[in-house]
């Protein structure tokens, strides 16, 4: 493990890390997260799948749009022109929806934060659209799954042993 937070300058203040000399390479990141809800809430959402009123369609649009604006929200993130964003949903048939996001770029820094923000925004939009019927939903287990490209190489998430 590295021993230094690189986001600080010689006055011990935050800076945007200098990546001027880094190489442009193809990069991707995959992130995931879940939202737990009352079983009735999930039924209403999945019923919506069949009709046109589609909570997940709105949620997914919000996630894609948020990924593009990561640098506006996360102070030390570099602006990265993304080359692809794709979000998938799975549910456990009972009380949980899982969202997975893959984000790609060809740039000097990685897109981990973009993928994580896509997941967070997607899940929060689900919360927003269902809060009238269920304010107790919980967003959980949001983490990076995998990333590749760049000097730090390939990363695969290892579930911590609790």
Per CB under 8 A, contacts with its own copies among 118-137 are: 120-121, 124-125, 127-137
Identify the active-site residue in 128, 134, 148, 161: 128
Q: Angle CA(48)–CA(69)–CA(16) in degrees, nearest 5?
A: 145
Number of residues in contact with its own copies, rule: CB under 8 A?
101
89 binds its own copies (CB under 8 A): yes
Residue 72 is labelled as binding a ligand: no
Residue 76 is labelled as binding a ligand: yes
Q: Which helix (H) or strand (E) holds 14?
A: none
Q: Which is nearer to its own copies, 73 or 93 (CB)?
A: 73
Q: Which is nearer to its own copies, 57 or 93 (CB)?
A: 57
Catalytic-residue membership of 95: no
Residue 78 is labelled as binding a ligand: yes
- Alpha-carbon span 112 to 122, nearest angstrom: 16
Look up residue 161 and give its two tokens: 């042993």
Smallest distance, Å, CB 20 to its own copies? 4
Residue 146 is labelled as binding a ligand: no
Q: With helix as H, strand as E and coil as C, how does 61-111 read? A: HHHHHHHHCHHHHCCCCCCCCEEEEEEEEEECCCCEEEEEEEEEEEECCCC
Q: 16 to 55, contacts with its own copies by CB under 8 A?
A: 16-20, 22, 26, 33, 36, 38, 40, 44-45, 48-49, 51-55
Q: Which is nearer to its own copies, 8 or 93 (CB)?
A: 8
Q: How far is CA 25 from CA 28, 29, 78, 109, in A?
A: 10, 13, 15, 8
Annotated binding site: 76-78, 113-114
């Amino acid at each position: 493990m590295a021993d230094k937070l690189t986001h600080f300058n010689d006055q011990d203040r935050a800076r945007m890390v200098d990546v001027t000399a880094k190489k442009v390479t193809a990069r991707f990141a995959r992130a995931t997260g879940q939202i737990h809800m009352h079983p009735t809430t999930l039924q209403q959402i999945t019923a919506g799948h069949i009709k046109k009123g589609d909570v997940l369609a709105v949620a997914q649009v919000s996630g894609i749009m948020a990924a593009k604006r990561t640098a506006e929200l996360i102070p030390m993130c570099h602006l990265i022109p993304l080359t692809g964003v794709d979000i998938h949903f799975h549910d456990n048939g009972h009380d949980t929806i899982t969202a997975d996001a893959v984000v790609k770029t060809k740039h000097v820094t990685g897109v981990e934060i973009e993928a994580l923000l896509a997941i967070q925004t997607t899940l929060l939009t689900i919360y927003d659209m269902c809060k009238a019927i269920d304010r107790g939903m919980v967003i959980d287990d949001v983490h990076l799954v995998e990333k590749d490209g760049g000097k730090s190489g390939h990363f695969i998430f290892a579930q911590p042993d609790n």
